[in-house]
Amino acid sequence: MAPFPILYINLDKDVERRQRMQAQFNHLQLAAQRLPAVWWPDLAREEQNQYYSETLNQTQYFKALANGEKGCYCSHIKAWQALLDSAAPAMAIFEDDVKLLPDIIPALEALAQRTTGWDMIKLYSRDQEKICNKFPLFTTHSLITYQRIPSFAAGYVITRAGAQKLLASRLPFGRPVDVDFRFWFENDLRVAGVYPSVMALDDTSEVSSIWEQRDRLTLSQRRRKLLMKLRLTLGNALHR
């Protein structure tokens, strides 16, 4: 039984991914609920405008978001709202292209004992993470802070405080959801991670069901990308 609610985001059409995720949760004896992912074209124009801002996108990111990126962000927003609509202190949120490792159970149990002092804990980590500090989490794993928050929104635990911060500051949005996490200093989002990783990316993560083919960047987009990276570097340096 999970120490707090677990949601996994899954499009209605992705039946095979849904079955694979549910099989993993059943094997680990974790109760998880499917959150139907948002398919962006299904939203009315008025609702799309409430979520996504082309103006913000021009200033925050280096290219317009694809429909899949917009729908993905909306799906995470739905998950944060589901947490606030519940009485739970925190929630684990997964995308549907991940592999859950056995150590995820003690990790979730340990995090359930400390749901204050942080907003988000990333459950996916890599050996090349730029770690700032390590703190014991359980026997074989640590809670880490980062020199630079990594990308990926594939799996994380978020507290009520974290969900409130994100919903208050990221509606509308102009960047992909995982990139917005990296700009933690804009809304004082306290992000940490579990190390070593307690989950992995599934093979299907290489073949996204929501991302459109990405074109080569124009000269203007490359300049905007460079400016975004400079803002990220400066923000980390000033606020870390």
- Which of 17-26, 92-101, 144-153 comes out lowest in average pLDDT? 144-153
Cis before residue 106, ω within 30 degrees of 0?
no
Decide if 14 contacts 96 (C-beta within 8 A): yes
**211 pLDDT more than 80:** no
Exposed e or buried b per residue across 120-156, where buried means at least 16 C-beta atoms within 10 angstroms of its C-beta: bbbbbbeeebeeeeeeebeeebbbbbbeebbebbbbb
Q: What pLDDT score does 114 carry?
A: 85
Question: What is residue 64's DSSP assignment?
Answer: P
Q: How far separated are the first and last CA of the chain, in Å rounded? A: 36
Query: Does the pLDDT at position 121 exceed 60?
Result: yes
Q: Which residue has the tokens 């799309």?
A: 48
| pLDDT higher than threshold 80 for residue 206 | no
If residue 193 lies in a helix (H) or strand (E), which one and from where to where? Answer: strand 191-195
User: For the chain, what percent of residues have pLDDT higher than 90?
Assistant: 82
- 102 confidence band (pLDDT: 50, 70, 90): very high
Confidence at 231, pLDDT banded by 50, 70, 90:
very high
Name the range with the highest mean pLDDT among 24-28, 219-223, 230-234. Answer: 24-28
Can you tell me the mean pLDDT for 14-24? 97
Give the distance, in angstroms, between the CA of residue 85 and the centroid of all CA atoms in the same chain: 19
Question: Kindly report the CA angle at 5 between 174 and 22, in degrees rounded to 5?
Answer: 90
Please give the radius of gyration of the chain, using alpha carbons only, rounded to the nearest integer: 17
pLDDT per position as a tens digit, 33-50? 999 999 999 999 999 999
Residue 74 has pLDDT above 50, yes or no: yes
Percent of the chain at pLDDT exceeding 70: 94
List the strands of the sheet with 6-10, edge to edge: 33-36, 6-10, 90-95, 155-159, 120-122, 191-195, 141-146, 131-138
The predicted-structure confidence for 150-173, as pLDDT tens digits, reads as follows: 988 999 999 999 999 999 999 999
Which of 130-139, 191-200, 209-218 reaches the highest mean pLDDT? Answer: 191-200
Tell me how far apart the alpha carbons of residues 202 and 20 are, in angstroms, rounded to a whole number.
10
Comparison of pLDDT for 239 and 157, the residue scoring more: 157
pLDDT over 90 at 203, yes or no: no
